[in-house]
Homo-oligomer: A and B are copies of this chain.
Amino acid sequence: MSTSANNHDIEEGLAFQPKFDASGLVTCVATDAGTGDVLMVAHMNDEALRKTIASGEAWYYSRSRKSLWRKGETSGHVQRVVEMRLDCDQDAVWLRVEQLGAACHTGRHSCFYRAVAAGDGETRLSLVDADRLFDPKAVYQK
């Protein structure tokens, strides 16, 4: 099969053929199904993908801990999958989820609680939607 025919199959076909990177991962974006806000960007290996599809709750693969991880297993802040989509080249996943509690380990609803802007020749961050919904010390360190 030519590369071009193979690309056509991956882009236009209805067969699930996730394209894992050299580490065996695809990138996953989770958004709040109600607001459209991006909650987090994480990774899934084959097992995380399968468990997410089978359970209807988000599973990821933690590159830092090198282990499979059910979102919310420590905090209780699970993600119920409303819809799962795959991108054109099948190497990225979009989960529309109902987020219980907060997605970010810092206690915020979303991991994206800082905006980036240029100012006075320097790039700076400013807080946006940065209220904490939980105290990370109380949740993770007891």
Contacts and interface: CB of A to CB of B under 8 A. Distances in A.
Interface residues of A, number: 46
- Chain A interface helix/strand/loop/mixed: strand
Copies of the chain in the assembly: 2
Interface string A1-30: 000000000011111100000000001010
Nearest to A122: B16
A118 B56 CA distance: 10
Interface in A105-139: 105-106, 108, 111-118, 123-128
B41 A27 contact: yes
A126 B127 CA distance: 38
Contacts of A126: 14
